[in-house]
Structure formats: C-alpha cells, structure tokens
Amino acid sequence: MTGYIIKRLLSAIPVLLGISVIVFLIMAMIPGDPATAILGSYATPENVEKLNRDLGLDQGLVPRYFIWLGNMLQGDFGRSFALNRPVLDEVLDRFGATLILAGTSFVLCSLLGIAAGVISAARQYGVADKAITFVVLLGISIPSFFLGMMMILIFAVQLKWFPVSGMWPIYGDRSLWVLMDHLTMPAIALAVVATGVIARLARSAMLEVLRQDFIRTARAKGVHERRVIWRHALRAAMVSIIPILGIQAGFVLSGAVYIEIVFQWPGVGRMLVDAILKRDILLVQGGVVFIAACYVMFNIMVDVAQALLDPRIKT
C-alpha cells in the first residue's frame, strides 16, 4: 500500500506541473502590459518597470515560466497589490474557511447522497424511491446561489433560525457552537446539488450490483436483507461510487465560490472573485494554482481510498 501511495504521489508531479503551465498560459493571455494590468492604470512608470523586472516580464515566455515556478516552489506566490500582502499568506488565511465549508458540505453530500441512493435502489419503484427521485431532481436543478438566497430569506429572515451570513459574529465569542450556527445554511446549500448527483449515481450503481450473482449467494446464505443491502451491495457499489465522490468534491469546491458570495463567507472563492473584479492578477493566479494543487492531492486520497476498498487494484 505504501508503494502504491508513493507511486500515486509521484504521478501527481507531472499533473501539478501541467496545472502550473495551464495557469501560466492563461495569465499570459492578458491583453496589453501585464505589469500595468497588475498595478492598475495609476501606477508610476518606475513601479511598472520594477515589477516587470521582478516577474521577468521583460524576458521570453519560457524563462518567465521558470522564474515564476521557481518562486512558487520557494513559497513565493507574489504579492497582492490590492491587499498589499504576500499572496500565499492571504490564500492560506482564506483557505481554512473554505475548507470548513466545503469539507462539511462534502461529508454531508457523501453521506446523504449515498444513503438516499441506497434506499432508493432498495425500494425501487416504491414510494420512498419516487419521493427521493423527485427531491433529487429538484436538488440538481436549483442553482446553489438561488437556493442559498431563498434559504436566507426563509430560515434567517422569516424564521430567524440561523444568522443571515458570515462565519463569525462581529462581536462575541468564537466557539464551535457559534461556528455551527453560521455554517449550517451555507453547508447545506452547497451540498444540495452534489447530494442529488451522488444519490442518482449511487442508485444506479446499487441497482447494477443488486442483480449480481453474489447478492443471490448472500440471500441464499440466509443473510438478513438489511445486511445484504448495506454491506454486500453497498460495499461493491462503493467501487463505482468513490470515483464519483472525487469528481463531486471538485464541484463542491467550485460551488463554494457562489455560496461564499451569497453567505459572505470569508473563503478563497470570495477572495478570487474580489481579486478578479479588482484586477488583482497575482492573487488570482496564486489562489488558482494553490486550490488546484490541493484538489489534485485530494484526488490522490480518493484513489488510495479506492485501493483500500478494492483489493483487486494492484498495489
């Protein structure tokens, strides 16, 4: 298993390099002078000159890439001109909030989605199946940002169950309880779409598995139906569900951008949108590379989980 993990980690290196190349090339598409774009039109010529030199913008595309890559590997993602602080510091500060939001949502959508899918498959064409199918259809059709707004309207403004927005109250203590209070609505709003997608795929994976011969064997052994469904069938179905969880993690991370805006959540997504609107190019660039790298690492974890689950995968 250790060998497998090392192999997967090594295979991530070209992917990470590829990601950096893609981000670099996209940023190279910036029309006009990048230093002016970064510093804004009121920058002094001296500053523009200096930034051009620092970033190697006066050189060709290839040396520029390697300067940028070398800096990043040393932990220097550049400096945000709008916030006047190192990009990495800002990203790391914001990343924790995103991780809490997206992580909670991911756990939520995995558990609920799989449970709904399994129940739906076990009661195929029954009332529960039809109800779940309908809710799922609604869930995957509603844009998360609209859902978030409606939740604020109903549960925060009308019913006053949860705070309208933010991660922490402006004044007051920062306990776990307070965090949960603020986290509930955005985490649910973010989880809904992914829950629906996972539920659908889990349902069809389960239906596929339930027709297999080893399910009949389990029943012939006298294994209780509950166990047949939740152990035998689900275990086998997980082999096709886990890769979907990996993909959905990417969608949850993406959806976090909208949810962070709607709920004023101080995460990287909101930071990126603000940075784009302020033309804070280096912050966008650094943030994108950082999150993409985290996502690649997450997918390696998914692969490892898959290998742990399925002994047939050569380790």
Partner 1 sequence: MMAFLKLLARNRLALAGLIVIGAVVFLALITPLLPLADPDVTDTPNRFLPPFSEGALLGTDHLGRDLLSRLLWGTRLSLAMGLAAAVIAATIGSAIGIIAGYYGGRTDNLIMRGVDMLMAFPYILLALAIVAALGPGLMNALIAVAAVNVPFFARNIRGITVGIAHKEFVDAARLAGMRDREIILSEVLPNVLPVIVIAMSTTVGWMILETAGLSFLGLGSQPPQADLGSMLGEARSALITNPHTSIVPGAMILVIVMGINLLGDGVRDALDPRLKSGALSRPMPATTVERTGPVPAANTDSLLDIATLRTEFRVRDRLYKAVGGVDLHVEKGECLGIIGESGSGKSVTALSVMGLVASPPGVITGGAVHFDGDDIIGAPYEVLRSLRGRRVAYIFQDPLATLHPLYKVGDQLIEAIQSHESVSKHDARARAIDLLRSVRIPNVDSRIDSYPYEMSGGMRQRVGIAMALANDPDVIIADEPTTALDVTVQAQILSVLSDLRRERGLAIIFITHDFGVVGQLCDRVAVMYAGQIVEEGPTEAVLHSPQHPYTSRLIDCVPTLGGGQRKLAAIPGLPPVVDRLPAGCAFAERCDKAQDTCRVSGIELFATGAARKTRCLFPEIEQERRA
List the interface residues with partner 1, window 262-281 (CB under 8 A): 262, 269, 272-273, 275-277, 279, 281
The H or E element spanning position 81 is: none
Q: What are phi and psi of 239, to 5 degrees?
A: -60, -35
Nearer to partner 1, 108 or 262 (CB): 262
| 43 touching partner 1, by CB under 8 A | no
Compute CA distances 45 → 52, 94, 170, whole Å: 10, 32, 41
- State the binding string over 279-298 for partner 1 (x if CB under 8 A, else -): x-x--xx--x--xx--xx--
| 130 touching partner 1, by CB under 8 A | no
Nearer to partner 1, 179 or 223 (CB): 223
Nearer to partner 1, 56 or 250 (CB): 250
**From candidates 152, 192, 199, 307, binder to partner 1 by CB under 8 A:** 152
Q: Which token pair is 245? A: 């969880």
- State the binding string over 164-193 for partner 1 (x if CB under 8 A, else -): x-----------------------------
Nearer to partner 1, 179 or 296 (CB): 296
| 33 touching partner 1, by CB under 8 A | no
Can you list the pairs that 303-310 forms with residues at least 24 positions away whose Cβ atoms lie under 8 Å?
Answer: 303/8, 303/246, 304/1, 304/4, 304/5, 304/8, 305/242, 306/239, 306/242, 306/243, 307/1, 307/4, 308/1, 309/235, 309/238, 309/239, 309/242, 310/239
| 35 touching partner 1, by CB under 8 A | no
Binding to partner 1 in span 88-117, by CB under 8 A: none
Q: Which token pair is 109? A: 């959508």
Shortest spacing between CB 258 and partner 1, in angstroms? 6
Q: Which residues contact 10 (CB under 8 A, 6 or more apart)?
A: none
Shortest spacing between CB 135 and partner 1, in angstroms? 12
Helix boundaries (H) for 211-310: 213-221, 225-227, 234-262, 268-277, 281-309
The answer to whether 302 touches 243, Cβ cutoff 8 Å, is yes
The H or E element spanning position 7 is: helix 2-28
Nearer to partner 1, 183 or 291 (CB): 291
**From candidates 10, 29, 73, 159, binder to partner 1 by CB under 8 A:** 29
Shortest spacing between CB 74 and partner 1, in angstroms? 22
Q: Crossing angle of helices 234-262/144-151, nearest 10°?
A: 70
**From candidates 43, 57, 115, 261, binder to partner 1 by CB under 8 A:** 261
CA separation for the pair 222, 228 (Å, rounded): 10
Shortest spacing between CB 265 and partner 1, in angstroms? 14
Shortest spacing between CB 57 and partner 1, in angstroms? 15
Binding to partner 1 in span 197-256, by CB under 8 A: 204, 206-207, 210-225, 227-228, 232, 235-236, 239, 250-251, 253-255
Q: Which token pair is 270? A: 């909101």
**From candidates 4, 8, 23, 184, binder to partner 1 by CB under 8 A:** 23
The residue with tokens 């609920």 is 112
